Structures are given as C-alpha cells and as structure tokens.
A = this chain, B = another copy of it.
C-alpha cells in the first residue's frame, strides 16, 4: 500500500489522525491549534457548504457578513454568555508592529495600543445583535433570517484536526422574531435541516433532541442538537440550534413596535455547524483502508485506473475511459481518469481507497478485447466485471445504492450500540465500552454532574424524535422519579 493506516481496533485515535493526514484532508500549521485544510479536504467542505447553503436559502434565509472583531465590552453585556465564551479567546491589543530598535526583526509598537481590546469572534451573537438594533423598529422588519459563513477562534488547550481546533470554519445563523413561538419554530426547523443534511448528504444517522440545561449554549433557553455515533461508540455533537429567548435583545436593547403599537423585545435563535462535521464524516464511515466517502460529498465520485503493458494499450484504454467519463459527467458526476504513467495500478488502487472514492473502474488488455471493465465499490470493497456498454447508467444507479448502503451500515452500527440501562453498576461497566445508554434521569443538574464526575458520560440529549421515551421510571443514579429516558454517552 501507498501509505499505511493504523487499524481502528489497534488505536482508534491514531487511525483517525492517519486518515486526516494521509488522505490529504488537513494538517497542523505552524500556528498552535490552527489547521491547514488541504485541497482534498476543502473540496469536501465546499460540497457541505453548497448543500447546506441551498437548504438555508430554501428555508428563507439570506447570507450576510459581520466583523471578525468584537469589542471586549460586548461580552460583558450578556451575563451567561460572557462566562461561556469570553474566556479562552484571541485578544487583539495593538494595531502596529515596528522595526525592533535592536535590529531583530519586528516588535509590537507600544504606542499602538488599542483603547479597547478586540476579541476575535468565538461566535457572533453580540456583534450581530448590536447591529440588529439598527435594523429593527417595527414588526414589519421581522423576521430577520440571516446566516454567515465565517471563521471563528476559540483558544483550545488540546486540539485535534477538525474535531477541536483554535480556528475553525462554520456557518452561524442568527434570526430575529416577533414571538417566542415563531423563534421556537425556527429553532426546530433548523435542527431538522441539520438532521436531514446529516442523514441524506453525510449518510450519518443522528438523534434529534434537546440539551439538558447544563449542556446548553451560553445564553440559550433551549438548545437542540443532532447527536451522531462514531465507530468507537462515542457521541459527536454534529450541529446545534438555540432558542435564545429575549436574552440578547435585552442585552443590546433591541425592541420592536408590535401591530398594537406596543414596544416589545425581539426573540432570537442561533444555529451552527462547523468543519467538525469533517471529523464526523471520517470517523463514522472510514475503515482500515482509509476514508469511505458518501457519493453526495465525494470530490471525485468515480476514479478510473488503466492497467496496461504497452503505451499503445494504455492509449486505447484511456480513449475508452474518456468516453465513459464524458457520459458520467453528462449525468452530473465527477470523474477522474488516473493517467499517471509513473505509478503502478496497485499503488493507485490503494491511494484512491485511502481517499475514499466511492467507485473505481479498472480496465486492462483483456477488458479492452472483451468490451468490459472492472467496477469496484469502496463501501463494500467488492468488485464486478461489467460490459462497457451501458456502464455509465449502471454506475449512476450504483452511486445511489452506495449512498444508501453507507447510511444503513452506520444506522445498523448505531442501533446495535444503543440500549436501555436501568442499573447503575451495569451503567458504569457498559459506558466504558462506548455506545448510547438510554436511562432514566431525575432532571437535576446535580445528578447529571455526579454521573459525569464518576463516568465521564454526559447527557447527549433528551430525544425529540423516534427515540423519545416518555415513561415513568426512577433515575439510574439518584433513584428519584423520572419522566422519561435520556441519551447518555461519552462524547468528543
């Protein structure tokens, strides 16, 4: 093989890093905690962007852009928000460098100290609500349904490519509404958009639910989430949608005149997904040969590798391949013919497997004579010889099958690792093995914290979809009454 990948079972964490780095998705930069997203990785993110952006626009949202910097004082305005976000962040204190008087490069010019420090946005609620104040006077100005694609910075001590980086890319929606009901509906609409995107585009099964108060976004009255399971059984929060109530409107004094002529505070939501989704994609579907990309997000959906003895044969095979390519491209698929003549086919096979290309077509001298080709699926690692005649149509259908199969495989894995648990001793054992445990909870932050302290497990969500389980019971830890089961897991 081209580049050895650590086995998932040997060392899951190393396997993940191998995939990210060896499949050319991203790498560490010279700046602590900041990553370089390489072209192949960025092409996947671009596809995520395009699908999501279309979904946002179809649900009535528009894009805008707000400043990278936030005046320090803005964070102090919303009490909970400052506790949650204003701490570990990048702070700009000066606006000029000067030549070092000692001749050693450049130094910060002490004369160029800012009057008020600026924080590089860790999230944009404060700067956006200070702007919305100017945009909103009457009910006619509502709703405002803005989204922003941007970079944000949260100073993290321990970072991992895509999963936790100081700088990351994301989108953040920020909406303003006349009523609580409308804002809550928006919160639900957007978590459903994320779930649909995860399931249909990323082939990623997710549970939709509400966060417990402990795990809510700083400043939110309700946080909805989609929770996915990785192949080590850990949970990964893949997207969140927050009902912010009137907290930010009150902090930034944003009021509107309602139809009755009365002044009211505006209701808010915010919602976001980030390049963290790249981590979810890798960990949910990859195997020991490398990435397994769902066709909907694969920058290259079909790769073709010629197997030849002579240059004449090479050319004849390439000619046939370019014809198939043309047909597939006409159907909207992205195709690469790997015509590099310095590498052996086996090396190429391993490389494209590592990069997770859904379908590989190989063609050799005998295929040329027989009018056939070999079609290999990345998801199942199976191969089939097919006539070249009509192969484009077959692959068109095959890509749908692969998308569905990758989802079903992940769904089967997830469902096999979700179980009810009603015994605390059992819980402590089972949670170590990974997976989601559906348990009764008494609804208190104290119990939640104690369970976390003893086992590292957190409440991933109080399910709001098919996993919803409203039944009387007793809390697995405290023994106090419970109205339903929640999802516990160790998480990323």
User: What is A's interface to B at a CB cutoff of 8 Å?
Assistant: 27, 29-31, 34-39, 42-43, 45-46, 62-76, 82, 86-98, 105-106, 108, 117-120, 127, 130-131, 134, 140, 146, 150-151, 153, 155, 167, 169, 342
Select from chain B the residue with minimum beta-carbon distance to A340: B140
Q: How far, in angstroms, from A358 to B154 measured CA to CA in the complex?
A: 43
Number of this chain's copies in the assembly equals 2
Nearest opposing residue in chain B for A65, CB measure: B37
- Assembled-state Cα–Cα distance A131/B151 (Å): 19
Inter-subunit contact B94/A106 (CB<8 Å): no
* Structural contact, B82 and A87, CB atoms closer than 8 A: no
Query: Given the complex, which residues of B lie within 8 Å of A71, measured CB to CB?
Result: 30-31
Contact (Cβ within 8 A) A106 B76 = yes
**Which of B66, B91, B106, B119 interacts with A72 by CB under 8 Å?**
B106
A39–B128 Cα distance when bound, in Å, is: 13
Known: A35-B67, A64-B38, A134-B27. A120 touches B106 (CB 8 A): no
B92 touches A96 (CB 8 A): no
Nearest-CB residue, chain B, relative to A128: B36
| A167-B67 contact given A62-B39, A76-B106, A91-B108, CB 8 Å threshold | yes
A-B contact pairs, 12 of them (CB 8 A): A29-B131, A30-B127, A31-B70, A36-B66, A36-B67, A68-B167, A75-B106, A89-B95, A89-B97, A90-B95, A91-B93, A120-B120
Q: A67-B31, A120-B92 are in contact. Are A98 and B87 (CB under 8 A)?
A: yes
A140 to chain B, nearest CB (A): 8
In the bound complex, CA of A79 to CA of B153 (Å): 30
Closest to A299 in B: B62
Which of A69, A70, A127 has most B Cβ within 10 Å?
A69
A29, A38, A65, A88: residue with the most chain B Cβ atoms closer than 10 Å: A65
Decide if A65 touches B42 in the complex (CB within 8 Å). Answer: yes
